[in-house]
Structure 1
Amino acid sequence: MKKSKLRTIIIIIVLLVFGLLFFNKFIGETPDKAEIKAVALKVDNSEVINSGITSIGYQSIKVRVLKGKYEGEKFTAVNQFTGKAEIDNYFKEGDKLLVAIKEKGNQVTAVKVIDLYRQGWELSLFLIFVIVLLIYARIVGVMALFSFVTSIYIIWNLLIPGLLAGYNPLLLASFTLIILTALIIFSIAGLTKKGLAAFTGTVTGLLITIIITLFFGNKLGLQGMTAPFSQALLFSGHMDLNMKHIFFASIVIGASGAAMDIAMDIAASIAEIKAQKPEIEMRELIESGFNVGRAVIGTMTTTLLLAYSGGYLTLLMLFSSKSTSLSRMINFKMVAAEILRTLTGSIGLVLVAPITAVLAGWIYSINFKEVIGWKKD
């Protein structure tokens, strides 16, 4: 009991450290040099031309700064419209805004509205997630929260900078996923046979998924430009990036979470069977793992389909409204990219199940102490 409490305390401390690092990285920029919070006092729409749901021109907004060295001061900020509804915001009086103040020396030269200030509600949503997770899962919830926050930190500080630096996207993604898989699985299962089986099954399945993605991605002639903001990324000074392999890496990363779920389900099932029936043979363990895997796979592959199709629901509605033929639809570049994402991810999931079953059956059927020649005095 004492060890369990001590482990919980250590995890919470580590979690707080990572939380502070995360906060400092994303939110803790010096307000005087970066974006700050303000409130809209008065909005002038005289220069705005509305066309349907889009607008062109700009809003002139009187704002009062709520944080930083300019706290309480009032400025006139500009909200420039681009004509793209997915990016533009139409602000009104009373809105909490994120504004950027440009300085030259100690003089304010320009104030620009960046977006709505959504941090408060996003933090509230995250706190609800934390509370629900901890109330239900308790110590396991603490471990899950630790792996959640740490995964965000690793992705932002290892994967993203590495991709921008031009490192091989698939190698870097593989390395990152191995770290994340070890972190997530071993933080939940501990350094146990169950954790080892889930880890090796997940990694093996993901490596096979990479090979399948490379082969069919090249055959489908996809260059990775269907990903959101890929063109903007290239034109922002990163023309040397391999967008095709970055897209392939995103497919494998997207499937990794579900792969870990399946691997852990099967490994945990075999661990429970072995605990209840210690004399069971390896063949029976593997057969049990296969049976569990078949049941889990039946819903998990559909989960991927729903997740990916949900992201392109409006595109599917557009095809339906235009009575687009099936042939034209499935050959459309964006649809082909999502077909590749869904099917390669699903193939990876199907492969993770039997691989984990075999590995877990073998791991739980051998005595590691005898294998390494260790004898208890």
Structure 2
Amino acid sequence: MAARRKANRILAAVLVPLTLLTLAGMAMLWPSGSKDGISLANPYSAAPGVTFDTGKIQSVVEESCMQGSTAPGQSPDTGGQPAPAGSDCMFAFTEPDQGGSPVKVVVNPEVAQSHGVKPGDQIRYLNLSNAPGAAASQGSPAYIFVDFVRTLPIVILALLYALVVIAVARWRGLRALLGLVGAYFVLAGFMLPGLVEGKPPLLLALVGSTVIMIGVLYFAHGFSARTSTALLGTMFGLAITALLAAWATDAANLAGVGSHDATTLINTSANISISGVILCGLIISGLGVLNDVTITQSSAVWELYELAPGTSARKLFTSAMRIGRDHIASTVYTIAFAYAGAALPILIIVMLYDRPLGDTLTSAELSEEVIRTLVGSIGLVLAIPVTTLIAVLVVKATGVRTAGQSAVGVPDEDRRPHGTSGAGAINADDVDDTGALAAAAFERRSRQSTEGSADPATTRRGRRADRG
């Protein structure tokens, strides 16, 4: 405990000024919350007499689109003319949640072809029956499908996720979930309004991401030298990611011109910079994986050191980096496949264009995803050796060596296997493999436990014989 308190004092001398600087930057960049000059129409706002209703589908039929305004059980008035070929539409007879007779909701062709609807689905639909002039618009549907109601399945998944996390990780898992809620408030209350008001995106992303990492790491993992070491490595990775993102956004001319959402934002406010939004997104997107690798490397160094306290700094760093290299390989795949999954519809569209691979990867549709993958991967890869080095330096600095003792107060001769000495002893400095380090430490602890349970008189006689 004394060694860990010493490590915390060393790390506090570095982290406290950085934290205070981050909080000062957050106070300077805090948005006012004003939305003056922003013009964005709400797609869910309705005209007078038009409402958004919800209901449960009872049955689904395919009929002529001319029957869109026909009530259930009635025949459409087609004037004796047959419906045009290929004009069938999907209709869902829906029971409104507010009560009343079932209504006939026309389903969008895109939804009908891609997913469809089925009895039992909860949907949200546009009710035009009470709109001015609705009675005169014969042949037009009075109820139009808008979206599915997904509240129940999302709530079930969220509760299941929380239950699994808490059951496996217990209090630490609960603290991690609460930290995630706090991170959401930083993102929604500080970073997003700051981007809308035109705050510097690079500083906004760095300050907001650092605040999130400070809160999440300490709240989930507690105040310890391990957590502080991981935080230092995370800050280094954030700085590298921010510098690369700033350069790549400008060098690759990421303007967001291939996105419909970016076009909407451009027309919303003159203060919003699409390049700044992309830059901020490049930094935020790698936070989760970066936090994962730094806390893992910090914990690995501490565990290896506790198994073999006499290990030299060089051997400890080498052993921990063996773990780090495996983590690098897996996390690189994680980032690449996560972005590929999110951009799968775009990938299919670009593939159907039948363009050369080089043109495809550098196109407006994919360049942002490619750069996000590369920038995030470089930042986390460089954070692993830096975090490992900081952890090794801290963990070795906490050990107080005296003559004939190791870093944790165990005599050096007691670190040798029972019955061996000199060149035949197992020394942690001579072990190159992490598993061998663990085996040596286990053998030492087993021998100490056996010796401690031996008869005291026999032990004293043995010691006198050894001295003789």
TM-score, normalised relative to structure 2 = 0.59
Distance in 2 separating the partners of 1:228 and 1:206: 29
- Is 1:39 aligned to residue 66 of structure 2? no
Distance in 2 separating the partners of 1:73 and 1:162: 46
Distance in 2 separating the partners of 1:124 and 1:309: 27
User: Contact 1:170/1:246 (CA < 8 Å) preserved in 2?
Assistant: no
Larger deviation, residues 90-99 vs 210-219: 90-99
Any gaps of 5 or more consecutive residues in structure 2? 1-50, 68-85, 131-141, 401-468
Which residue does 2:99 correspond to in 1? 72
Which residue does 1:348 correspond to in 2? 379
User: Contact 2:124/2:145 (CA < 8 Å) preserved in 1?
Assistant: yes
1:3-42 matches, within 5 Å, as 37-40=54-57
Distance 1:170 1:59, change over 3 A: farther
- Is 1:158 aligned to residue 184 of structure 2? no
User: Contact 1:57/1:80 (CA < 8 Å) preserved in 2?
Assistant: no
User: Contact 2:105/2:125 (CA < 8 Å) preserved in 1?
Assistant: no
Q: CA deviation at 1:256?
A: 1.2
Deviations 1:124-167 (A, max 9, x none): 11111112222222222212222233323332333223322332
TM-score, normalised relative to structure 1 = 0.71
Distance in 1 separating the partners of 2:66 and 2:346: 29
Deviations 1:175-195 (A, max 9, x none): 221122112211232110000
User: Contact 2:57/2:118 (CA < 8 Å) preserved in 1?
Assistant: yes
Which residue does 1:95 correspond to in 2? 121
- The residue identity in structure 2 corresponding to 1:249 is C
User: Contact 1:198/1:267 (CA < 8 Å) preserved in 2?
Assistant: yes
Q: CA deviation at 1:118?
A: 0.4
Q: CA deviation at 1:219?
A: 1.2
- Is 1:210 aligned to residue 242 of structure 2? yes
Distance in 2 separating the partners of 1:173 and 1:193: 26
3-state SS of 1:223 partner? coil
- The residue identity in structure 1 corresponding to 2:278 is F
1:62-211 matches, within 5 Å, as 65-66=96-97, 71-72=98-99, 94-98=120-124, 114-211=146-243
Q: CA deviation at 1:73?
A: 5.4
Percent pairwise identity: 22
Distance in 1 separating the partners of 2:398 and 2:325: 28
Which residue does 2:297 correspond to in 1? 266
- Is 1:285 aligned to residue 316 of structure 2? yes
Distance in 1 separating the partners of 2:198 and 2:100: 43
3-state SS of 1:98 partner? strand
Larger proportion of strand: 1
User: Contact 1:147/1:184 (CA < 8 Å) preserved in 2?
Assistant: yes
Distance 1:354 1:62, change over 3 A: same
Which residue does 2:262 correspond to in 1? 230
User: Contact 1:58/1:78 (CA < 8 Å) preserved in 2?
Assistant: no
- Give the CA RMSD over aligned residues: 3.8
Q: CA deviation at 1:223?
A: 1.0
Figure out how many residues of one structure are paired with residues of the other and give that number: 320
- Is 1:308 aligned to residue 339 of structure 2? yes
Any gaps of 5 or more consecutive residues in structure 1? 1-33, 50-54, 105-109, 370-377
Distance 1:96 1:305, change over 3 A: same
Distance in 2 separating the partners of 1:292 and 1:115: 47
Larger deviation, residues 119-128 vs 130-139: 130-139
Q: CA deviation at 1:120?
A: 0.6
Larger deviation, residues 213-222 vs 345-354: 213-222
Distance in 2 separating the partners of 1:90 and 1:143: 40
User: Contact 1:224/1:245 (CA < 8 Å) preserved in 2?
Assistant: no
